[in-house]
Amino acid sequence: MPGVTPVALGSPERTAGELLAVLRRIKGTRDPGLEVSATQAAEMAHRHGFGLLAVVEHRDADPGLLMAGVVPVDRPVDPALGVRLDGPAIRDVTKGVTATGYPVVIVERIPVTGTGAQLQVVVTDPAQPRVAVFTLHSPTGRGWLDVAGLAGRFVSGVEF
């Protein structure tokens, strides 16, 4: 999908290298924090067994990182439970259905102070006790709605 660039998850080093190359293509080579960010994201993806690590980019926004994994649960999940989340950083909680027919809960977090934004999307599988958890993180939050919209269209096509 245009605007979403997955990186290989073969090894932490390979993942970090590919992620760094994508970030440098978008942000330029002069940002000294990119290598540290790429390494940390790659290590986290491998440590937690993510099935997806991707960069989400839009011309009017700073890039965001999209991470996802399928998580087994011990019993079927009621998507309505997520609608009751609250807290100072939670800006919006939405319940819906993906384009592929799966129930979904979307939680948007934007810090009260500081920068950045986060979107967590939990897609439930009614046929099996498992969920797909997607997290989109933008360190700056610049162009957040554009990046979140791209990620939302990507997640909407999820298939278990």
pLDDT tens digits along 53-83: 999 999 999 999 999 999 998 876 666 665 5
Token pair of 121 as six digits: 């999307």
**pTM of the full structure:** 0.88
pLDDT of residue 28: 83
4-156 has which fold?
Protein Transport Mog1p; Chain A (3.40.1000)
Could you tell me where the DSSP H helices lie in 28-89? 33-47
Q: Which residues pair with 5 in a beta bridge?
A: 55
Check residues 19 and 88 and name the one with the higher pLDDT: 19
Q: For residues 131-157, give the mean pLDDT.
A: 94
Percentage of residues in the chain with pLDDT exceeding 90?
71
Q: Which residue has the tokens 């994201």?
A: 41
pLDDT for res 81: 60
- pLDDT at 80 (0 to 100): 62
Domain boundaries, the chain: 4-156
Paired with 65 in beta bridges are 55, 137
